[in-house]
A and B are shown apart, each in its own frame.
Chain A
Amino acid sequence: MTSDEIPSVEYVEGSGIPVRGNDIDTDQIIPARFMKVVTFDGLGEFAFFDQRFDHDDNQKEHPFNDDKYQDANVLVVNANFGCGSSREHAPQALVRWGIDAIIGESFAEIFAGNCLALGVPTVTADSETIEALQEWIEANPDGTIEVDVADETVTYGGKTIDVTVNEAQRKALVDGIWDTTALMKSNTEAIEKTAASLPYVGSEVNKEAADD
């Protein structure tokens, strides 16, 4: 992918799915035993696995198992969502399950960064706002939620509320520069200059690299 092929993510629309609780960690989002893989393909079915299934693989009560939310793409969570590991497997599992945007009270930093790298906005609002939205989704599982990343608003049930999007995230999503590889690679000269200025990188190491 080159930078001009990266889609802009200004706006996400769809139905919601609430997952309640603070401090939902990455081990809950995708248990470590499902990470014994060399690609992210197929991780969607393991999202929240241990919350969804008992020892005999019978379904437990969980929004991700609930028929009414199977087409949802806007996840609504509470505080400190995604804390714990840096595993990108967590947002990858959610995205592959069908999630395109997450609204919450707050997110762990690496998790939010990983979401951005996948073009998934993580927008925040206070706990009352989130609570109200979660209740509305439960009453209106087919209702449409519009996440406007550019304008920092969420619209549902005929009302529009203000939400917060981290400024760098907003710009990256709206301008279509959230996939940073090509963008950063274009600064080769400046990278080399910075490397050369660092005493520990030094010329000796550069020479070694050249010899390889």
Chain B
Amino acid sequence: MSEGTLYDKVWENHRVTTLPNGQDQLFVGLHLIHEVTSPQAFGMLRERDIEVARPDLTHATVDHIVPTDARDRPFANDAAEEMMAELEENVHAAGIDFDDPTTGNQGIVHVIGPEQGLTQPGMTIVCGDSHTATHGAFGALAFGIGTSQIRDVLATQTIAMDKKKVRKIEVTGELGECVTAKDVILTIIRRLGTDGGVGYVYEYAGEAIENLDMEGRMSICNMSIEGGARAGYVNPDETTYEWLAETDEFEDDLERFEELKAYWESIASDADAEYDDVVTIDGSEIEPVVTWGTTPGQGIGISEPIPEPDSLPADKQETARRAQKHMRVEPGDTMDGYNIDVAFLGSCTNARLPDLRAAAEIVEGRQVDESVRAMVVPGSQRVKAAAEREGLDDVFIEAGFDWRDAGCSMCLGMNDDQLVGDEASASSSNRNFVGRQGSKDGRTVLMSPVMVAAAAIEGEVTDVRELPKAEVKA
């Protein structure tokens, strides 16, 4: 068993008791809610005549169903309007803060928590969304939960959980040019498998992780769940503290910041902490990664050949064959040159300001290929506003991108932003499952924001490092 890790310490600090079934009851420091997975939980509370225990530790936003173009109320889609109205009613009745689109603070739940400073090291954070793992970038223990568990948390501000093992994943060395956090996590998932993390929490460490900014760390922790790990985290350090100092929570309260910093420092993994497993990956060997299949584990470097299913472990062969048929790719080919119809720059994985900045740098002075429908969906209204202050919107619009409002959008296609028919998309999102982006015949190729930008320009999957440089504005 692990000992002295951040996971062990934060778990122990939040442990209320051990339940009769052997699970621990953990106190939840922050409960984030949204419109898709919470209404049924509020319904269950009403059935049982139970009040929300800690509205002060609960925070709401709307992200999955919210339109990213016309946002006047009522929403054009009746079902979306019903979900929005239900959320409004629930949070209003319970006295829960709600970042609706009129506040300027609305956005994807995993973008707004960090940017407002709600997400802090040493917290337990839960949300009815598997990408809650994102918040681990700050050294929080953050878990995606189901609706019955949301009910538990609303009712008691606690959750019943099994303690997991801890696997330290060290990414050593320096990342190459145009190699990003997204490429690192896709490499980790490919290496350890989509179910490799079952039973584990991942601690990401090593030089390549430490050198990432907070947004990059969020991208990595975000996709922990795609590797089967329910949570992932990075130990808090100076990068974390500098980021937090500028958030709403602390910019005018230095005293509280210093007080909490002592706690944050105390919960980091000890230098001699014990892990259940340690994996080392050489970061300098990673190249831009794209997926060729229908799980996030089916990724390859942009210059690598698509694998022959027979060459894969026996339990992966059938999935690979099915995936290659769906994606219409051939073993032995590379993904370089794979035609795309849609470029989607968005999602809780990669729609933060640095993602948009990096993509804009690639896009500037170029034009989106005429065969491509390209869109940028910022992760939050604040990200959108900040990008506009820098003029990034002009860069994208001039190149031919649609510049939209904040939300989950085409990552899962619960609003009107969806693939049509068998369209292929280059996506900065987190899942390439069949049907994920709104069409069951749609094809999704996962990649980093700069690779999405390059694909949009070329009309096909392309190595961003080889885009001709000459055309950049005069």
Q: Which residues of A does B touch, CB under 8 Å?
A: 1, 21-23, 25, 27-28, 31-33, 35-40, 50, 79-80, 83-88, 91-92, 106, 108-110, 113-114, 117-118, 127, 166-169, 171-172, 175, 177-181, 183-185, 187, 190-191, 193-195, 197-201, 205-206, 208-209, 212
Scoring B65, B145, B160 by chain A CB atoms within 10 A of each residue's CB, the highest score goes to B160
Chain B interfacial residues counted at CB < 8 A:
80
Q: How far is the CB of A37 from chain B (nearest CB, A)?
A: 7
Residues of B within 8 A of A (CB): 13-17, 19-23, 25, 27, 29, 36-37, 39-40, 43, 48, 50, 54-57, 64-65, 77, 79-80, 82-83, 86, 95, 120, 122-123, 128-130, 132, 144-149, 151-152, 155-158, 160, 162, 194-195, 198-199, 225, 228, 230, 259-260, 263, 295, 315-316, 318-319, 322, 412-414, 431, 433-436, 438, 440
Task: Say yes or no: A114-B146 contact (C-beta < 8 A), given A38-B39, A109-B230.
Answer: yes
What's the A-B contact tally at a CB cutoff of 8 Å? 214
A137-B230 Cα distance, complex, nearest whole Å: 33
Chain A residues whose C-beta falls within 8 Å of the C-beta of B158 in the assembled complex: 184, 187, 191
- The 7 lowest CB-CB distance pairs between A and B, nearest first, are A117-B148, A114-B146, A36-B79, A88-B146, A86-B144, A88-B147, A38-B39
Q: Is the CB of B40 within 8 A of A38?
A: yes
Chain A, residue nearest B438 (CB): A33
CB of A77 to closest CB in B, whole Å: 13
A88-B146, A114-B146, A209-B56 known; A167 vs B195 contact (CB < 8 Å): no
- Do A184 and B195 have beta carbons less than 8 Å apart? no
Q: List 20 A-B contacts (CB under 8 A).
A: A21-B318, A22-B315, A27-B412, A27-B433, A28-B435, A35-B64, A39-B39, A83-B195, A83-B228, A85-B412, A86-B146, A88-B147, A168-B162, A177-B21, A181-B50, A191-B16, A191-B157, A195-B157, A201-B27, A212-B55
* Cross-interface CB contact of A184 among B129, B160, B316, cutoff 8 Å: B160
A38-B83, A85-B129 given; name 8 further pairs at CB < 8 Å.
Answer: A27-B431, A38-B39, A83-B228, A109-B230, A166-B162, A184-B160, A191-B25, A199-B259
A175 in contact with B198 (CB, 8 Å): no
Closest to B128 in A: A86
Task: Note all chain B residues with C-beta closer than 8 A to A92.
Answer: 147
Q: Which residues in B have their C-beta under 8 angstroms from that of A37? A: 79, 83
Q: How far is the CB of B124 from chain A (nearest CB, A)?
A: 9
**A-side contacts of B230, CB under 8 Å:** 109-110
Chain A residues in 8 Å Cβ range of B318: 21-22
Q: Which residue of A lies closest to B77 (CB)?
A: A36
Q: Which residues of B contact A31 (CB under 8 A)?
A: 435, 440
Contact indicator A200/B263 (Cβ below 8 Å)? yes
Q: Which of B83, B263, B433, B438 has the most CB of A within 10 A?
A: B433
The docked-state distance in angstroms from the alpha carbon of A31 to that of B16 is 37
Contacts of B431 in A (CB 8 A): 25, 27, 84
Q: How far is the CA of A100 from the CA of B474 in the complex (A)?
A: 66
Q: Are A187 and B130 in contact (CB under 8 A)?
A: no
A172 to B64, CA, bound (A): 33
Chain A residue contacts of B65, Cβ below 8 A: 36
